Amino acid sequence: MNDFERRLTDLLHTGTPQPERVITASELSELAQDEHAPRGHRSTRWGVPLMAAAAVLVAVTVPVYVIGHDNNSPAPASPSLRPPTSAPTSSPSSTASNTPGSVATCLTSQLSLSSGPSGAAAGSVYTTFFFTNTAGAPCSIRGFPGVSLLNDAGNIVGQPATREGSEGSSVRLAPGQRAQFTLRLSTATQTGCDTPRPSSGIQVYPPEQTVPLRIPFTTASCSVSVQSLTQAH
């Protein structure tokens, strides 16, 4: 890769917007059923009418799934025959730990923190950070990390990072896999940052955890905001 290609890669990684919503497995489950319905309404776009139609379909078919669904049995051969994940929670078998494919929330002790590429645009510096699953089992992570900057003495500098954008969807981390989040630091006068405060470390609470991780991170900024975790590419 030459320099231009590297810069293009950085730019695309930093600047490609995050979707406000993404298609979820439960929506696809309903669409897949719709696709299989013999004379059902086939649609290539999802939308309110389709969701309503799918909801009716789910309501009609759910009792069959509940009766036929055994928690200990392996997944049905055809994915289209799986019970919709949006099935009513009155189903006796539906508890969080039994949701197909669900794994435990990543604990701080299972994660390591590292910093990735940094970029700047219009008065802000963007830095990507990674949580790596260092445990031997998969875990899942979702939402916003709790981020503060630290001075040389290890004390918190300024206000914790504010949240930016939506919470995002759950990221499953197999052993060795990474999730990432982007931190935006206001650094220049054009963003109202006249006296940036220096910091030399960063403290990050993984979502839902009470123990933080700390690594060196030298910068100077006025305010910090953080985006939700996504799968690392």
Partner 1 sequence: MLSIEDFVDQNSRMLHRSAWLLTGNWTSAEDLVQTALLQSWLHWEAIRSDAPEFYVRRVLVNTFLSGQRRSWTRESPVDVMPDRAAVDELPATELRHVIWTALSGLPPKQRAAVVLRYFNDLSETQTARVLDCSVGTVKSQTSRALRKLRLVPELQSLMEKVGHE
Q: Which is nearer to partner 1, 39 or 233 (CB)?
A: 233
Q: Which is nearer to partner 1, 151 or 177 (CB)?
A: 177
How does DSSP classify residue 106? P
Residues at the contact surface with partner 1, assessed by CB under 8 A: 4-20, 22-25, 28-29, 31-32, 35, 44-46, 75, 77-80, 82, 85, 100-101, 117-126, 168-172, 190-191, 230-231, 233
**Amino acid, res. 196:** P
Q: How far is the CB of 12 from partner 1 (least distance, A)?
A: 4
Helix, strand, coil share (%) of the chain residues, nearest 5: 25, 30, 45
Q: How far is the CB of 155 from partner 1 (least distance, A)?
A: 26
How many residues does the structure list for the chain?
233
CA distances from 218 to 10, 117, 202 (A): 20, 14, 8
Q: Which is nearer to partner 1, 119 or 212 (CB)?
A: 119
Q: Which is nearer to partner 1, 107 or 232 (CB)?
A: 232
Q: Which is nearer to partner 1, 105 or 191 (CB)?
A: 191
Q: How far is the CB of 117 from partner 1 (least distance, A)?
A: 6
| Residue position matching structure tokens 């997944």 | 75
Per DSSP (E only), the strands in 14-138 are 111-121, 124-133
Q: How far is the CB of 80 from partner 1 (least distance, A)?
A: 7
Residue 231 CB contacts under 8 Å (≥ 6 apart), including other chains = 171, 179, 180
